Amino acid sequence: MSTVQSRHDRPSNGRRRDRRSTLIYLLIVVPPSVAALVLIHEHTDWTRRQADAGESVGHVVAPLHDVLGMVLVACTVVVVVTQLAGSLAARLNQPRVIGEITAGLLLGPTVLGMLAPTVAEFLFPPDVQFFLTAIGQLGVIFFMFEVGRELPFALLKGNAGTALVVGHAGIAIPFLCGVAFALWPLAGLRPDGVGTGPYAVFLGVALSVPAFPVLARILKDRKLKDTGIGALGMATAGIEDVTAWCLLALVVAGVSGDSLGGAGTTVLLSVIYAAVMWWGIRPLMARIARYADARPERSPMLMIAILLLVLLSAGVTAMIGVEAIFGAFLAGVITPRGSRGAEEFAFRLAGPTHWLMLPLFFAGIGLSTDIWDAVSGAGVLVVLLVLIVAMGGKFVGVVLPAVAVGVDRRSALALGTMMNCRGLTEIVVLQLGLSLGVISPDLFAAFLVMTLITTAITGPLLELLRPRRTGPDSLWLIAGPKVEATPPTTVGG
């Protein structure tokens, strides 16, 4: 009788949980989202930034054969320094990306330019910086392909209800904080010629986006990736990631378009392109993957097809007006999962991307950023304010909804800590905003400091929150029936 009763109770309990999650979603996610839209509509404009008559439209470099030797020497220096700094960060139980970003700052005017300006000018003259930046941007494109490929679709299904509520609340509330931040405390730091609309939306995104790849590595290092809380955290980060990139595409379209109508056209073209990729190219790639996996000698054909997909997709989105990184991200999303050839391609790509091209990207950031000047320009108070709002908005936006849908408090705090991890994804977002002229170098530096701090504290805070003893239903145990999926394989370690 009890067995029959329990079977009848399960659908009823599930319906009650669904109604509860829906109610919490409507109460927590919708109001801040509507409030942000109202603020943007009432207090912003979408004026396109026009170049001044005397503004440079490009950088002319010397012929490659004149600077090739210096470029190779500079690449060697960057790789050595970033590897040493990354290894030191790993020894300190920190993500390698913390050391690599710090290495980029060490090579720039923040340290080397201040202590040995002659050496800095010899190693990194403007012509060399141009080539380093170009190679680094290619690394960002391949990195975004990895991000798209590692989105945890299986986990999104297994934790859909809780992850959707917590993930969207973790975007909506920080996004509202960023919009309010841009319209009042940081209004004076908006660059001349930039509309308040793109500026406000960009700061909202910058305070919302999590670092999914870095978080996955932290959870793996802390042996949490295969636990219930780790699976829920990755699913939540996946939802936040996709939502934040869609919002960022709107910013890029708003800056690139001649008007709000032009921005709408860009967004429409992007949606059409994404639909073609998902319903047209994705099945085609799956068919190619099955054909190639049937015989090992056909694997190169699939790997070449994936490479062409990444490059072409990045090029198409760049021509549409939403930046190449979005096309690379979409290419990763539609790349076949579980294919032997696709796995081999990702493995081979990870080496040059993480050992050479991304370190050059970090170096490019460091060479163009002087933390001391930027902090004095923006002010220490602004840096502290950015840090407080970034962390506070994420914790409020994640912890409260998680508790409301039934997650225990310790696990909810752990989720808030995970979503506060920014890492390399935040750097990519900030660099995009800087290159578009949406934010100033001073504000870029303030957000960069926030990124380093929030990423560095993620691991230690998770260890503090880990319970010493866990009950049979704890989310901190190895994922079992409570989590109906297994995490995806992480590419490139």
Among the listed residues 60, 13, 17, 12, the one whose alpha carbon sits nearest the alpha carbon of residue 404: 17
Long-range contact set of residues 303-308: C-beta below 8 Å, sequence gap at least 24: 303/341, 303/342, 303/344, 303/345, 303/348, 306/331, 306/335, 306/341, 306/342, 306/345, 307/345
Higher pLDDT, residue 490 or 192 = 192
For the chain, what is the total number of helices (H) and then of strands (E)?
23, 0
Distance between CA 259 and CA 281 in Å, rounded? 31
- The confidence score (pLDDT) of residue 234 equals 87
Q: pLDDT-derived band of residue 244, with 50, 70 and 90 as boundaries?
A: confident
What domains does the chain contain, in order, with CATH numbers?
A: 88-465 (1.20.1530.20)
Q: Could you tell me the pTM of the whole model? A: 0.83
- The confidence score (pLDDT) of residue 180 equals 94
For the chain, the straight-line distance linking the first and the last C-alpha, in angstroms and rounded, comes to 51
Q: pLDDT-derived band of residue 271, with 50, 70 and 90 as boundaries?
A: confident
Instruction: Give me the percent of the chain exceeding a pLDDT of 90.
Output: 48
Q: pLDDT-derived band of residue 489, with 50, 70 and 90 as boundaries?
A: very low
How far, in whole angstroms, is CA 17 from its chain's centroid?
31
- The confidence score (pLDDT) of residue 51 equals 44
pLDDT at 312 over 50: yes
pLDDT digits (tens, 9 = 90+) for 7-23: 445 566 777 878 888 89
Question: How large is the average pLDDT for residues 178-204?
Answer: 90
Q: Among 12-21, 110-119, 154-163, 363-372, whose mean pLDDT is lowest? A: 154-163
Among the ranges 14-18, 29-33, 56-60, 366-370, which has the highest mean pLDDT value? Answer: 29-33
pLDDT at 4 over 70: no
Tell me the two tokens of residue 403.
Answer: 């508790």
pLDDT at 83 over 90: yes
Q: Among 66-80, 198-212, 478-492, whose mean pLDDT is lowest? A: 478-492
Quote the DSSP letter at residue 124. S
Q: Among 144-158, 247-261, 373-387, whose mean pLDDT is lowest? A: 247-261
- The confidence score (pLDDT) of residue 19 equals 86
